[in-house]
Structure 1
Amino acid sequence: MHAWFSGSNVTSLRLVSRYGPCSPFETKELPSLEQILLKDQLRVNFLLKGVAKSSTDDSKVSISAMDAGEEYVINVSYGTPSREQTVLMDTGSDLSWIQCKPCNVCYPQEQPIFDPSQSSTYAVIPCNSPTCSQLQGSCSSSCAYFIPYGDGSNSSGVYGYDRLTLSPNDVIEPFLFGCGTDNKMVFQDAAGLVGLGRGKSSLVSQTSQLYHSVFSYCLPSTSSNTGFLKLGEPGDASNTVYTGMLTSSNDPSSYYVDLIGISVAGKQLVIPQSVFRSGGTILDSGTTITHLPPSAYETLRSAFGSYMSQYPSAPPTHGLDTCYNFSGYETITVPKVALQFGDGVTLDVDSSGILFDNCLAFSGGQVYGVGIIGNVQQRTYEVVYDVGNERIGFAPHACS
């Protein structure tokens, strides 16, 4: 099945925090820190799918693994006539899906639930097609999909295709996606998600002829600001530095990078490169804080703490153990933290990405040897995923 495209070979969409003032959702209340960090652990388990078994007590939290840290949403439209849907952006998923009528189980969402029977361009994927067998879905009369997330929530329904409108000038047809008629406690408010992973069903793969398997995003420094998701070549490439994109045979959809070191206040920490390389490091849009190998985290915590000794410490909170009490301080000075990659590339973490709720925004509770660079540390950079050339770029101060 070949898609046709109309529009330009670069499309930029407004990206906002689902909890900020720019969010289209009525419910803007930020989850508690406990909810965010419990969710973050579930997200880690989801990313490491078959490897990880959830060690978190799921009964403590009534929020989905895809809910609190998956904080960034875009607006796209499905169908003919087109119907706007607010969806989450996710580099950790391949298959895109939205809630569809007739719903067996649907959660409340902001816009009306998509009704494929009202779209003149919608069709289901037949059971016996190569597209369905690629999906490894089940079959009765039409191709079915099922996606389980790390916390017992899931989405299932029919795999079909329709027209996807990214902007008034940018249309993709046919776009393959899941029409979810059974969606158990997956999101609140969002219609579904757009998958930006490396698998064949992702938006990146489906639009590779148009956008050449390149996309980028900029996550704003605060939830009050806006960022963007861009499909196609980044604009000003002059200040972008690239590091190699690695692949794991166990996890071919995720984006791995060769993290080899960390510095604090310009001083290289003494951590053997093998500590990072043993399990590899995933760059992820949906994990909140960065998860490091325990020995690397302990070295970072110690160095960071010595620079912050002038501030009174605060009790650990839900897995963040390097916390401070800044009450009474008008300004605080935080040492620079930089992540170093194998090919000489350094990412100076923006000042908004070093502390999270007055705690160091890193954790040593890494799972199964795999590290994950979370979205807090990616703030304000244009992060470029050049899948075709197997490289990931970083350009500073990119969100306007």
Structure 2
Amino acid sequence: MASVSKLLLLLLCSYCHSLVTHAEDDPNYKVFSIGSVVPEANCSETKAIPSPGGATVPLHHRYGPCSPMPSKEIPTLEEVLRSDQLRASYIQRKFTASQQTDATVPTTLGTSLDTLEYVITVGIGSPAVTQNVFIDTGSDVSWVQCKPCSQCHSQVDPLFDPSKSSTYSPFSCGSAACVQLGREGNGNGCLSSRCQYIVKYLDGTSTTGTYSSDTLTLGSIVVKSFQFGCSHATSGMTEKTAGMMGLGGGAQSLVSQTAGALGKAFSYCLPPTSASSGFLTLGASSGRSGFVTTRIFRNSKVPTFYLVLLEAIRVGGKQLNVPPSFFSAGSVMDSGTILTYLPPTAYSALSSAFKAGMKQYPKAQPQGILDTCFDFSGLSSVTIPAVSLVFGGGAVVNLDANGIMLGNCLAFAANDDDSSLGIIGNVQQRTFEVLYDVGRNAVGFRARAC
């Protein structure tokens, strides 16, 4: 009996080995390391390879061991996914409202900060004071907490003190910057003749203070007269970051402000796991090699977001039988949304095809909105079908294994209906250098950049 058990174990091991070998040799399969599911204790600092040009700074996952602001309180996956759904729903509602002539486009950002996962380190002021901030392609107004602060959340960095910066200047209420701020829905009146800003979030959190300018240091580049919110009060926030750096397409964003000096382009690489590092490059040079590109579409009523046209999805090398018309509403490229949200018809086809390629693994219970889950107990690695996203113009993006799975579940979800806007979330963007070449109306993807 013992010999039979040993033989069975040997056969199983051989089968698992053959699956892994098959995945390594066959582009239609990928090897997914179960170790990437479990949070690592040490920072691996894998070598990121940014393209030349622009100002580059390291980028870290907020909860990983590489983070400059480690937190002991890590939310559960279910909590994060609830916030993710709020953000996705808000983005979709905002675009729906923009298409209705009698509707008011909401100005609330629409999410708590729980879905923002990536931080960079910048310098504010002269002399520069180090500040660790979130990045978000779904935000325009950048802000940091400032002295005096009547109601601030705790942060790892010292509060920025504008009185100690020789280049700090608050905007007056009649300034062009203040008028523009009000036009975009973030004005908050005047206080002692100084322009006031406010950013509200859907969960009730907010930041308010003086709209100002000062010197921003980003890697090796110094940006003079950078416009940002000097926050004197935050409400409901428990983050350890100093604030937010907005990478959206609106007039107040970091990208728009530096377009004249650095060019209207930026890129980032989101690392495969929380224990490794990526990068953010501002002023990334255009027309570089190694990228597959697709067109950016913009909505003048919702200028913050970057839209692309997803046309098809491939699973295990085979294209899903979903007509392109189901993707015609477009998809937002968003660093702050975690999952990729698809029309229900497309998601159902994706889930079915993926399950068909995962028959060797038992099914597991859903985790929140994630309903295509598997039991990987006792395994160190598994083979999964490759998933590719096909964008307008023929750009094919072959997702990394860590861009397909979130834990033991497929990292995609369904929208409420087939006519809803899609969202390409940050899980699917992992390991790619994602180039937003706004000047040329293109988004590019370069594989294995971090």
What TM-score, normalized to structure 1?
A: 0.91
Q: Which residue of 2 aligns with 1:91?
A: 137
Q: Give the one of 271, 274, 289 matched to 1:238.
A: 289
Q: Give the one of 183, 190, 195 matched to 1:143.
A: 195
Is 1:22 aligned to 2:73, yes or no?
A: no
Measure the CA separation in 1 of the matches of 2:70 and 2:80: 19
5 Å-filtered alignment, 1:1-400, equals: 10-48=54-92, 50=94, 65-136=111-182, 137-140=187-190, 141-167=193-219, 169-234=220-285, 237-277=288-328, 279-366=329-416, 369-399=420-450
Total equivalences in the alignment: 380
Cα drift, residue 199 of structure 1: 0.8
Contact 1:234 1:384 in 2 (8 A): no
More helix by percentage: 2
Tell me the secondary structure at the aligned position of residue 322 of structure 2: coil
Contact 1:9 1:211 in 2 (8 A): no
Q: What are the superposed Cα offsets for residues 119-176 of structure 1, whole Å, 9 maximum, x if unpaired?
A: 1211111111121111111322211111111211111111010111113x42111100
Tell me the secondary structure at the aligned position of residue 384 of structure 2: coil
Q: What are the superposed Cα offsets for residues 242-301 of structure 1, whole Å, 9 maximum, x if unpaired?
A: 100011244221000011110100100011111111x32000001111111111101111
Q: Which amino acid aligns with 1:311?
A: Y
Which protein has the larger Cα radius of gyration, Structure 1 or Structure 2?
2
Going from structure 1 to structure 2, the CA distance change for 1:288 and 1:73 (only over 3 Å counts) comes to: same
Q: What are the superposed Cα offsets for residues 192-234 of structure 1, whole Å, 9 maximum, x if unpaired?
A: 0111111111111111122211100000111111100011235
Measure the CA separation in 1 of the matches of 2:449 and 2:53: 20
Measure the CA separation in 2 of the matches of 1:346 and 1:337: 10
Going from structure 1 to structure 2, the CA distance change for 1:46 and 1:113 (only over 3 Å counts) comes to: farther
Cα drift, residue 29 of structure 1: 4.8
What TM-score, normalized to structure 2?
A: 0.81
Is there any run of 5+ residues in structure 1 with no aligned partner, and where? 1-7, 54-63
Measure the CA separation in 2 of the matches of 1:104 and 1:45: 32
Measure the CA separation in 2 of the matches of 1:120 and 1:95: 23
Measure the CA separation in 1 of the matches of 2:113 and 2:176: 33
Tell me the secondary structure at the aligned position of residue 222 of structure 2: strand
* RMSD of aligned residue pairs (Cα, Å): 2.0
Contact 2:84 2:337 in 1 (8 A): yes
Tell me the secondary structure at the aligned position of residue 114 of structure 2: coil
Tell me the secondary structure at the aligned position of residue 139 of structure 2: coil
Going from structure 1 to structure 2, the CA distance change for 1:271 and 1:280 (only over 3 Å counts) comes to: same
